[in-house]
Amino acid sequence: TRQAVVGAGTLTYTIGELTPGAAYRVRVIATREHAPDGEPSAEASGTPRAEAPGAVEGLEVTHQTEALEVRWGAVEHAGGYKVQWRLEDQAYDETRQAVVGAGTLTYTIGELTPGAAYRVRVIATREHAPDGEPSAEASGTPRAEAPGRVEGVKVEAESEALEVSWTVIEHAGGYKVQWRLESQAYDETRQAVVGGGRPGQTRIGYLIRDLTPGATYAVRVIATREHALDGEPSAEASGTPLLTSPGAVGVVRVWPRTEALHLEWDPVELADGYKVQWRFPSDISYDEVRQALVEGDGAGGYRITDLEADVTYWVRVTATRRGAKDGFPSNGYAQRPLPGLAAVEGVRVTSLSGALRVEWLSTLASGGHRVEWRTGREDWDPGRQGLAGPGEVSYTITDLEADTEYRVRVTATRQDDPDGPPSEEVVGRTRARAGGVTLTPTRLTVAEGESESYTLVLDSAPAAEVTVSVFAGEGLSVDRFPVFTPTDWSTPQTVTVTPDEDEDVDDEHYRITHRTASSDAHYHDLTVDAVEVEVEDDDVSEGELTVSASRLRITEGNTGRYTVVLNRRPAAPVTVLVSAPEGGSLTVSPGSLTFTTANWSTPQTVTVTAAEDTDLSDEVLTIAHLIPQASVAARRGPGGSLAASATSPLPPPAWVYVYVGGGLAAIESGGTAGEIFQLGAAGVTVLIDDDDKPRTPGVPALTSSLRLLEEQAGAYTLELTTRPQADVTITLTLDPGVDLRIDRPEADEAGAHKLVFTPENWDTPQWVTVGAGRDDDTDNETEVISHSAASQDPAYDDIEVADVKVTITDRYGPPPVRKRKGNLSVDRTSCTLPCSVTLEWGDLEETDQIQVRRAEGNIDLITSSASTGSVTGEVREGANTFELWAWEPDPGDPNEGRRLTPRLDFVEVTGSRGPTCNISASPSDIRSGVSTSVTLTWSSQRAASAELDPGGNVPTSGNRTVRLTGTSEYELTVTDANNETGMCETTVTAWPRPVIDYFAPEPAPVDEGDQSKLRWTTTDTTSVKLDPGNITTGLSVDGSYDVRPSETTEYTLTASNPVYTGDDSTTPHTYTHLTLPTILRV
């Protein structure tokens, strides 16, 4: 049954219909017809195979974290499956293979590389059968693990923007910043994607721009990672964008006033208020203690009061806007408040015909004097007074009664300041009225180089010819000395006045005096009124010219604009030449501006065009504004220095001042070139950005050098050339002990001056302002400001920043040479405030009078006729200079006046303040017997140590909390390095509950409408209240109140003190008034 016979020529045979997998034994026996079979062959064995399964279909791959999930469809007869995977550059092999059973149609391939592209296939298998055909390949990329949730999200409001920052998350490759209004959902239209930061960075920030000011936004941050799902959103934070900040305040005009400073400035766009701040030069920075807020447009300016006279203050103004950050502060300005005016001394009166001539010693720092007069029987009357202008030391009172005694006093005045105290009264008697001369007018205003006139006429007919001599003084000329006769005495005669042309830019004041000569005694040697002449200079100086922008930044091929305007009305038309440097890189239009008396205050526009060039360099060029007295050109020389030159030598005597890029050049007479020596305000610096070159990181300065005079300020800017990846901090350094200070940027708490550039403001130049001090020598100095850079951006970290060299020119020179003999000595050269010194003078030549004065503010201490003497001088903080001056006859004055000689001698005294302190308690009033927590807070100045009594040694500033039940006093004593002490104290008052000792009417009313007086006395009470009516005004703690009740009325008195008020104060005392019964009917 299991045998097959084949022919002799057949050597193979296939046994079919066998059981797959069963082991069969096989043998072959040879046969021969008519013969027995041969011996069987040796046995052989074999196992039949099953049919191979089909190819797998429906293969799907799903991305998982560091894995791929594989799915496929079932294959008929398959006994299992092989899952194989490989990378692009690999072949399939058994090392990347998994075998699963027939019932498994999914498999997760783990431990894969995130982000790598894998190919996958599946093969069906069957026992006792060959594998099926491999499936079609599928591909997949495993994901990385999702990053964590972002923490520490902070939102800070900016102008129309929000600054969002958060803590860096491990494994995050980037972040999504999303924002929305309350009515909105998060979506990709309000989303920004930012990078993951640099190694070592702990926080990352992003500025959301173009938001609606005043609207509240919700913000969240989501960490992202390549080949991974996004992390969970952070907790929401919220913020409200601010309005756009106002700009910086421009020039601040500061005028000294009595113990005050008056500030004015131009309004700033968008500003609705201003912050005025002031500080001492020794203060590190401005603070809110010395600050005032000005609402509105600031048109009226602001006056800082209660300042110390003759002490230098630095002031600045910052524009503010509600709902916005403050603008940038203005530059700082230094000024000293004036001391109060002193009483006028040396008043003397000269008798004239129907008039009195009053003279006095000049009151230094005054703006004029008021002269008042009255008879002995009259009061002082505003209708009998006259005003003498600045610098005038005499005044003639006219139209007085002849041969009458008058009392006269003089008071120093100053514009916008309180008057000084009146002088002592001086008595004078007018002479009998005789001849007189009338002038019309008595005041003239004339432009330099032009003429004006006035007339003279006699008041009565003379008996003989009268000659009027006219004394004009140097710099002013008159055309005649009028002569009047007995026949033409009533005909006015004209005198023409012409001022000389000069080379300065100052207005001048002249006084024309007159004296008569005649054989008529009534007209001989008369004192005639003076004519006051104001000469308006026709030149324009540095302070007269203002440009709207001292700095422009233009890209090659583009234009910029600024305006120019005069600050005051010129006497004649002024032409300002607008000069661009040679070379053609910069052109200006128009090339000149003409200002007249009509348009001087109207800004005129200058258009600046930067030409295209073929180089790769940025350029810094300067536009000069020349007010020509000669043809002058400006240029920038080697090393960035500025210079000016004239096309031909200037005729003497002349100095031509040329304003170049914030600098002032001077060309001396006969010369053709001058060097910049002073910082000015009328030049425009143009920075031309080249559009051809690739940008490389750098920190260029506007200039490599500055030239300053002593006690003068200068400035330059720093900026970055490319956007940094992180904040860049530039630290400015000066050698210790130099005569140069850095005013801007202000020093931080560690005393360092730093500029910070961010990825947002990197292309905005930042100003550095420096100031030169004053020293006692006559040498010029050169100081160096060095810069160092630090940043998390490797391109800017420790990048080289060029130094700026500052040359300081000494402008005071040696002390003046004493030309007259005289000395001044002092009993000590230093003291601790408050203190005074004794000043002695002597060894004087013959002189009318001497003056000892304080140089700071020119304040007279004493005027004396003694050749030797002494006076006490108050010492103020800092350097005090006391000077000795002498009066002597003035041979050039026809009125026999006197003049002040050059300073004879001086001494210097240093005043230093001892330590001061301030202590306060909060609260300062407590309830008696109730344990209450009280905070003591104290601060000090110039103190090295402090002691609190009770309490012991404490820091020089700080606070301490104590518990008190009763009234306590605390005294703080501070000590400086010189063992000088200062003391301050505070008291905490413990109040018991107030008590009403007595409350009743006197007398008690008996019928409606009767008047009575409610009286009361109280203890431990500061205020009382009477009801009905809630009456408090006019009530004392022990007092009374009139009442007239018309019906039954209940009166209640309530007593209070600082810690017991209202219902908590005391039990009210009540008095009820009952009216008498009335019989209405019998």
The CATH topology of domain 916-991 is Immunoglobulin-like (2.60.40)
Q: Which CATH class is domain 60-140?
A: mainly beta
Q: What is the mean pLDDT of residues 1055-1070?
A: 68
CATH fold label, 995-1073: Immunoglobulin-like (2.60.40)
Of the pLDDT bands very low, low, confident and very high (cuts 50, 70, 90), residue 365 is: low
Fold of the domain spanning 154-239: Immunoglobulin-like (2.60.40)
Mean pLDDT, range 382-396, rounded to an integer: 86
Helix then strand count (H, E) for the chain reads 0, 84
Q: Is the pLDDT assigned to residue 978 strictly greater than 60?
A: yes
Domain-by-domain residue ranges, the chain?
Answer: 1-48, 60-140, 154-239, 252-335, 348-382+393-425, 441-483+505-536, 541-694, 695-814, 823-913, 916-991, 995-1073
Does the pLDDT of residue 152 top 70, yes or no?
Answer: yes
* pLDDT mean over 974-1001: 86
Is residue 384's pLDDT more than 70? yes
Please list, in sequence order, all residues whose beta carbon lies within 8 angstroms of the beta carbon of residue 553, skipping any fewer than 6 positions away. Answer: 560, 686, 687, 689, 765
756-784: per-residue pLDDT in tens?
999 888 877 888 888 887 776 767 788 89
Neighbours of 1055 (CB within 10 A): 27
pLDDT value at residue 58? 93
pLDDT score for 657: 40
pLDDT in tens, 35-74: 999 999 999 999 898 888 999 999 999 998 899 999 999 9
Least confident of 18-22, 222-226, 885-889: 885-889
pLDDT for the residue 856: 65
Contact of 654 with 629, CB cutoff 8 Å:
yes
Nearest to 916 by CA among 877, 872, 881: 877
Residue 653: pLDDT band (50, 70, 90) is very low
Q: Does domain 252-335 have CATH number 2.40.30.170?
A: no
Question: Which pLDDT tens digit goes with each residue over 543-586?
Answer: 467 777 767 778 888 888 888 888 777 777 878 878 777 666 78
Query: What's residue 816's pLDDT?
Result: 36
DSSP designation for 214:
T
The DSSP string of 53-118 is: P------EEEEEBTEEEEE----TT--EEEEEEEETT----GGGEEEEETT--EEEE-SPPTT--E
> Can you give the pLDDT at residue 1068?
54
Confidence at residue 582, expressed as pLDDT on a 0 to 100 scale: 67
- pLDDT of 831 strictly over 50: yes
Domain 823-913, second-level architecture: Sandwich (2.60)
Q: What is the bridge-based pairing of β-strands 437-440 and 452-458?
A: antiparallel
**Mean pLDDT score of the chain, rounded to an integer?**
81
What is the rounded distance in angstroms from the CA atom of residue 623 to the CA atom of residue 551?
Answer: 10
Length of the chain: 1082
Residue 301 confidence (pLDDT) above 90: no
Where does the pLDDT of residue 1049 fall: very low under 50, low under 70, confident under 90, or very high at 90 and above? Answer: confident
Q: Looking at the predicted structure, is the pLDDT value of residue 692 above 80?
A: no
**Residue of 481, 473, 487 whose CA lies nearest to 456:** 481
Per the structure block, which two tokens stand in for 616? Answer: 């790769």
What average pLDDT does range 712-728 have in this prediction? Answer: 82
Non-local (6+) Cβ contacts of 669 within 8 A are 650, 651, 652, 653, 654, 655
pLDDT of residue 629: 45
pLDDT-wise least confident of 247-251, 602-606, 669-673, 831-835? 669-673
What's residue 857's pLDDT? 58
Q: What pLDDT does residue 661 have?
A: 37
Strongest mean pLDDT among 344-358, 954-968, 1003-1017: 954-968
pLDDT of residue 971: 93
Q: Which two tokens stand for residue 146?
A: 């999702």
Q: CATH number for the 348-382+393-425 domain, one of 3.30.1540.20, 1.10.760.10, 2.60.40.10, 3.40.50.720?
A: 2.60.40.10
pLDDT confidence tier of residue 420, bands split at 50, 70 and 90: confident
pLDDT (0 to 100) of residue 570:
76
659 has pLDDT over 50: no
> What CATH architecture applies to the domain 441-483+505-536?
Sandwich (2.60)
**DSSP 3-state of 371:** strand
Do 970 and 906 touch, CB atoms closer than 8 A?
no
Which phi and psi angles does 914 have, rounded to 5°?
-75, 180
Q: Could you tell me the pLDDT band of residue 1074, with boundaries at 50, 70 and 90?
A: low
Specify the long-range contacts of residues 148-152, CB closer than 8 Å, at least 24 apart.
148/172, 148/223, 148/231, 148/232, 149/223, 149/231, 149/232, 149/233, 149/234, 150/175, 150/221, 150/222, 150/223, 150/231, 150/233, 150/234, 151/234, 151/235, 152/203
Q: Which residues contact 525 (CB under 8 A, 6 or more apart)?
A: 515, 516, 517
Cα 857 from Cα 859, distance rounded (Å): 6
Maximum mean pLDDT: which of 52-66, 453-467, 854-868: 52-66
Structure confidence at residue 546 (pLDDT): 78
Give the pLDDT score at 655: 37
Q: What is the pLDDT of residue 845?
A: 62
Query: Which of the four pLDDT bands, split at 50, 70 and 90, describes residue 702?
Result: low
pLDDT of residue 1078: 59
- Closest by CA to 445, choosing from 499, 390, 505, is 499
Q: Work out the average pLDDT over 879-896.
A: 65
Of 450-454, 541-545, 877-881, give the range with the top mean pLDDT.
450-454
Tell me the two tokens of residue 993. Answer: 């509950």
Q: Are 184 and 127 contacting, i.e. CB atoms less than 8 angstroms apart?
A: no
Predicted pLDDT at 1059: 85
Question: What percentage of the chain has pLDDT greater than the value 70?
Answer: 85
Confidence (pLDDT) at 682: 56
Give 850-862 as a 3 state SS string. Answer: EEEEECCCCEEEE
Whether domain 695-814 has CATH 2.60.40.680: the reply is: yes
Question: For the ranges 219-233, 250-264, 702-716, 830-844, which has the lowest average pLDDT?
Answer: 702-716
Of the ranges 200-204, 710-714, 833-837, 998-1002, which one carries the lowest mean pLDDT score?
A: 710-714
| 79-92 pLDDT, tens digit each | 999 999 999 889 99
Which pLDDT score, from 0 to 100, does residue 1069 have?
A: 54
pLDDT at 598 over 90: no
Res 911 pLDDT > 70: yes
The answer to whether 557 touches 585, Cβ cutoff 8 Å, is no
The residue to which tokens 């009268």 are assigned: 466
pLDDT value for 258: 86
Q: 150 pLDDT exceeds 90?
A: yes
Q: For residue 997, which of 1035, 1038, 1052 has the smallest C-alpha distance? A: 1038
Residue 481 has pLDDT above 60, yes or no: yes
Percent of the chain with pLDDT over 90: 24
* Confidence (pLDDT) at 890: 52
CATH topology of domain 541-694: Immunoglobulin-like (2.60.40)
Average pLDDT of the residues in 797-811: 84
pLDDT of residue 15: 92
Give strand ranges (E) for 182-281: 191-195, 203-208, 217-224, 237-239, 252-257, 260-265, 273-279
Whether 541-694 and 60-140 are alike in CATH topology: the answer is: yes
Tell me which residue of 880, 884, 899 sits closest to 841, measured CA to CA. 884
Q: How confident is the model at residue 920 (pLDDT cuts 50, 70, 90)?
A: very high
User: What are phi and psi for residue 18, nearest 5 degrees?
Assistant: -90, 165
- The tokens of 442 are what? 């008595």
- Residue 900's pLDDT band, with cuts at 50, 70 and 90, is low
- What pairing do the DSSP bridges indicate for beta strands 1039-1043 and 1012-1019? antiparallel
Amino acid 57: pLDDT: 93
